[in-house]
Structure 1
């Protein structure tokens, strides 16, 4: 196992937090766009798929602008601080 140190300035002393979410079955009527001015997001997609929008905004319930890409199980996504983002049309299928 190789230990890798973070680049200088990557981690700052002080308080940190972790936010773990489970997102499924999102539609345009339940979609939210988020922006975190001082924190990054790192997403690990463990199951299902969806459409990630970055840089767009919701205006009267209608998504305008931004870039969209399909995300699916196995993807790791980095979202820099200050970039609006949201999942549109998330799907999770459970097999029994």
Structure 2
């Protein structure tokens, strides 16, 4: 999770570097969730419908589905944080 530390850092590029770090972190998160869902789907396909293992993997897939529903919100929040950071920095420079 070093990309979270990169988001908080200010660099010579300003908030654009933070946006790039946040975007890269989001892409990695989406890839991990997609691969995890694919693995659980393959495991569930090898089990019978009435087994405990099937129910557990089905619950895992439902959890991945619920988490994936929030990706849009997470992206909007990341962009809003960067925009607010740009506004705060620009107003901070006006007074100096």
TM value normalised by structure 1: 0.20
Choose between structure 1 and 2 for higher RCO, CA contacts under 8 A separated by at least 6 residues.
1
- Normalized per residue, the structure richer in strand is 1
Rg: which structure is higher? Answer: 2
